[in-house]
Amino acid sequence: SAVISQKPSRDICQRGTSLTIQCQVDSQVTMMFWYRQQPGQSLTLIATANQGSEATYESGFVIDKFPISRPNLTFSTLTVSNMSPEDSSIYLCSVLGGTDTQYFGPGTRLTVL
């Protein structure tokens, strides 16, 4: 299994600002994923982040709003840009383990005022 940490664990931000969320894995992984979980809802995949290439975004998510970096095999960042209250969610990163299992970080709880 993989151990994943995220920073910050939570934040309260003003609308119009941006927040960058960091995801660190304790081992090298090829595929990392970013999810959003809106209050009381299930998880929605935002994008897949592969090292050395641009992230692949799911329908309804765009790079200008959610730019992603993947500088190496153990680290990724997700930025939530020009935030509005609708962006208030838990943001989770995950990685794909060797047995096709996805392991999740603890999440970043974002509140936008």
Partner 1 sequence: SQQGEEDPQALSIQEGENATMNCSYKTSINNLQWYRQNSGRGLVHLILIRSNEREKHSGRLRVTLDTSKKSSSLLITASRAADTASYFCATDANTGNQFYFGTGTSLTVIP
Residue numbers of the site for partner 1 (CB under 8 A)? 1, 31, 33, 35, 42-45, 48, 58-60, 90, 92, 94, 96, 99-107, 109
| Cα gap 68→48, rounded to integer Å | 9
Smallest separation, CB 14 to partner 1 (Å): 22
Nearer to partner 1, 82 or 101 (CB): 101
Query: Distance (Å, rounded) from C-alpha 21 to C-alpha 77?
Result: 5
Within 8 A by CB and 6+ apart from 77, the residues are 20, 21, 22, 23, 68, 69
Nearer to partner 1 by C-beta: 61 or 75? 61
**Minimal distance, residue 63 CB to partner 1, in Å:** 17
At closest approach, how far in Å is the CB of 111 from partner 1?
12
Long-range contacts of 63-66 (CB under 8 A, 24+ apart): 66/34
